[in-house]
């Protein structure tokens, strides 16, 4: 009969085997590639000693291809829960040393258990992905487990925050789990995401493309918009995941966590009074405004290198997490285009899902003109942003810094789509369009027939500027709640946010709306 001692030894041996993963040789290869192992990554992600593993003893049950002769407890994914700065999260880390981190039936079901538990307990999920994809030997059982994960990602969407860190390959349909989650962080040079690899592409379209160009972190951080953050190392990616979690509530029923701040809520931002150039067409960096108004100037920018004509990200205002959306006049003059609309719409919807108040800083000359944009569906994409803002019931505060022209005025958190506070700086110009364009349309004949056309045009532009390109008409109609000195922006937003935090706004009950996707 087995003694107590033997039973304990048995348990310990099993745990040691699970912890060894695919063995030292494969761990060394992982390290040589500049990658941490799954367990090292979780150690880095979580507070010291907080990780509680589940399913370390799960084994695959595939018998084909001699798989039953190579069973590694844990089946290539380390799952459990732990804390980040004392707040609990669920997590999983794929172990590339076990069958290349490939996802077989049981590996997938372990991830499903994590997602189920996170949903049941209302806790965020951080997934660390490093996998050769569907485990080829397990065939359809592997595909089935993938779909079980996708289904759960969708079910948890908008209920608990989901963050994917891509730290190795992520190919084929496997990309769709991260794509459904709220944020994707990619490690430069080691992370690759694509639906079909370079060889298939060569066969089908005869294009030559490297792994890196096809689906590296730079590609997805600048061209496709699939990823939200690029980091230079595993450690940096995990640190970023911790930072991100710190901005977020644990679930959709909670308020975002507050953070004590040494920065006075009523701080006057003197430099903002002279920030807007006298020349309307001169750009400035809207991040300077963001850094002035947020607590200690801290701002976690999301998708910084994609659709940079709009800036989105998280900050704190008087200790409260806020989401910031700002047109960026130094890129494409801050125009809204297809990508900017998609980027901002998804961000607004994330904030609304998780009770994060929105601050919108407006300096937008309109939607970007051009056949590329029209044929690419700017109507459909721009509508997403309008839809997202209109649907959002979190506290919404908007400041018009300079231009707010045309449909873009309506879209960017206007009073008409139920913003709670609408402010403008004296430099605001709110109109159907800029003076040059407007004068050409409404005074075409007058300019043509004038003795000195150019002089007449200039006079009319001046006149239009004076009459319409200012905040006074909108303030007179109550579309703005106030016109303020720029230096007062932080204190005004902070004071209003304090009373909006318990805001309740209902929309008609429905299964779900039909956002123009
Ligand atoms: C089983 C796999 C595997 C897989 C890798 N391995 N991918 N085992 N199923 N999908 C194993 C290898 O046999 C090897 O085992 C170990 O993992 C490490 O792989 P290497 O090739 O030595 O590593 P590396 O050179 O770094 O290359 C990594 C790789 C490559 C680029 C991921 O392994 C690869 O191309 N794998 C196949 C990728 C793929 O086509 N997957 C299916 C995608 S489609 P040993 O024992 O030698 O250490 C898909 C559909 C999902 O995933 C659909 C969801 C709906």
> What is the tens place of the pLDDT at every residue in 370-400?
999 999 999 999 999 999 999 999 999 999 9
Instruction: Note whether 399 and 448 are same-domain residues.
Output: no
Is 366 tagged catalytic? Answer: no
For atom 27 of ligand 1, the residue with the nearest CA is: 132
Do 218 and 333 lie in one domain? The reply is: no
Supply the residue whose CA is at minimum distance from atom 16 of ligand 1.
Answer: 100
Domain check: are 117 and 22 in the same one?
A: yes
The answer to whether residues 86 and 156 belong to one domain is: yes
- The residue annotated as part of the active site, out of 74, 172, 216, 334, is 172
Compute CA 321 distance to the chain's CA centroid, rounded to the nearest angstrom: 15
Residue-wise pLDDT tens digits, 207-248: 999 999 999 999 999 999 999 999 999 999 999 999 999 999
Q: Is residue 250 among the annotated active site residues?
A: no
Q: Going by CA atoms, what residue is nearest to atom 24 of ligand 1?
A: 100
In a domain, 307, yes or no: yes
- Domain that residue 234 falls in: 4-247
Verify that 190 and 200 share a domain, yes or no.
yes
CATH number for the domain spanning 423: value is: 3.90.226.10
CB atoms inside a 10 Å sphere around CB 30: 22
Whether residue 259 is contained in a domain is answered as no
Q: Are residues 330 and 391 in the same domain?
A: yes
| Residues 37, 174 within the same domain | yes
86 is catalytic: no
Residues 33-57: tens digit of each pLDDT: 999 999 999 999 999 999 999 999 9
Within a domain: 505: no
Contact 310, 326 (CB under 8 A): yes
How many Å lie between the centroid of ligand 1 and the Cα of residue 14? 26
Asked if 367 and 220 sit in the same domain, the reply is: no
Does residue 514 lie within any of the structural domains?
no
| Residue 17 sits in the same domain as residue 88 | yes
Query: How far is the CA of 194 from the CAs of 66, 200, 317, 456, in angstroms?
Result: 30, 11, 38, 57
For ligand 1, whether the C-beta of 382 sits within 6 Å is: no
Residue at which a domain ends, from 247, 278, 306? 247
Whether 256 maps to a domain, the answer reads no
Residues 184 and 81 in one domain: yes
pLDDT band at 434 (very low <50, low <70, confident <90, very high): confident
Q: Is 72 in the pocket of ligand 1 (CB under 6 A)?
A: no
Whether residue 106 lies inside any domain: the answer is yes
Least confident of 97-101, 236-240, 323-327, 433-437: 433-437
Q: Report the nearest atom of ligand 1 relative to the CA of 197.
A: 40
Pick from 395, 253, 251, 391: which is nearest to 318 by CA?
A: 395
Say if residue 36 is in the same domain as residue 115: yes
Tens of pLDDT, residue by residue over 102-161, are: 999 999 999 999 999 999 999 999 999 999 999 999 999 999 999 999 999 999 999 999
Whether 436 has a pLDDT exceeding 90, the answer reads no
Identify whether 144 is a catalytic site residue.
no
- Would 401 be classed as within a structural domain? yes
Residue whose pair of structure tokens reads 């379209």 in the numeric block: 205
**318 belongs to a structural domain:** yes
Q: Which of 388, 408, 435, 475 is catalytic?
A: 408
Q: Are residues 204 and 216 in the same domain?
A: yes
Residue matched to tokens 């981190």: 101
> Between 286-293 and 489-500, two packed helices, what is the crossing angle to 10 degrees?
60
Q: What's the whole-model pTM score?
A: 0.96
pLDDT above 90 as % of the chain: 92
- How many domains would you assign to the chain? 3
| Interval between CA 397 and ligand 1 midpoint (Å) | 48
| CA atoms of 341 and 384, how far apart (whole Å) | 7
């Amino acid at each position: 009969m087995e003694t107590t001692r033997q039973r304990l030894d048995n348990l310990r041996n099993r745990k040691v085997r699970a912890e060894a993963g695919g063995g030292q040789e494969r761990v060394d290869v992982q390290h040589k590639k500049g990658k941490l192992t799954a367990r090292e990554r979780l150690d880095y992600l979580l507070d010291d000693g907080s990780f509680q593993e589940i399913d370390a003893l799960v084994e695959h049950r595939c018998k084909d291809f001699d798989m039953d002769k190579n069973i590694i407890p844990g089946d290539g994914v380390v799952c459990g829960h732990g804390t980040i700065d004392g707040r609990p999260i669920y997590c999983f880390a794929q172990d590339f040393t076990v069958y290349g981190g490939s996802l077989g039936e049981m590996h997938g079901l372990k991830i499903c258990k994590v997602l189920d538990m996170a949903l049941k307990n209302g806790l965020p999920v951080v997934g660390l992905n490093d996998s050769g994809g569907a485990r080829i030997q397990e065939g359809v059982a592997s595909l089935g487990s993938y779909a079980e994960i996708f289904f759960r990602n969708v079910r948890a969407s908008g209920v608990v925050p989901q963050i994917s860190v891509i730290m190795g390959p992520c190919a084929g349909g496997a990309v769709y789990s991260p794509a459904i989650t709220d944020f994707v962080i990619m490690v430069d040079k080691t992370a690759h995401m694509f639906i079909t690899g370079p060889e298939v592409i060569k066969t089908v379209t005869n294009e030559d493309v490297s792994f890196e160009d096809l689906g590296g972190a730079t590609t997805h951080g600048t061209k496709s918009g699939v990823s939200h953050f690029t980091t230079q190392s595993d450690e940096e990616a995990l640190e970023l995941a911790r930072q991100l979690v710190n901005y977020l509530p644990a679930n959709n029923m909670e308020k975002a966590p507050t953070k004590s701040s040494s920065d006075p809520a009523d701080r006057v931002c003197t430099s903002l009074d002279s920030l807007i150039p006298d020349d309307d067409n001169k750009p400035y960096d809207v991040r300077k405004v963001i850094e002035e108004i947020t607590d200690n100037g801290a701002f976690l920018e999301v998708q910084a290198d994609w659709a940079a004509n709009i800036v989105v990200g998280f900050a704190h205002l008087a200790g409260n997490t806020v989401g910031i959306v700002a047109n960026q006049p130094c890129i494409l003059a801050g125009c809204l285009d297809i990508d900017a609309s998609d980027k901002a719409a998804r961000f607004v919807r994330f904030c609304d899902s998780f009770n994060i108040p929105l601050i919108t800083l407006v300096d937008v000359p309109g939607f970007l003109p051009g056949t590329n944009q029209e044929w690419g569906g700017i109507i459909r994409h721009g509508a997403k942003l309008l839809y997202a803002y209109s649907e959002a019931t979190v506290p919404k505060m908007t400041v018009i810094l300079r231009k707010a022209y045309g449909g873009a005025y309506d879209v960017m958190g206007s009073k008409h789509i139920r913003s709670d506070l609408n402010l403008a700086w004296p430099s605001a110009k709110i109109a159907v369009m800029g003076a040059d364009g407007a004068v050409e349309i409404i005074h075409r004949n007058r300019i043509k027939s004038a003795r000195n056309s150019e002089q007449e045009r200039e006079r009319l532009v001046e006149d239009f500027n004076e009459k319409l390109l200012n905040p006074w008409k909108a303030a007179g109609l109550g579309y703005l709640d106030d016109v303020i000195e720029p230096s007062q922006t932080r204190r005004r937003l902070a004071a209003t946010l304090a009373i909006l935090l318990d805001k309740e706004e209902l929309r008609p009950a429905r299964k779900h709306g039909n956002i123009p996707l």
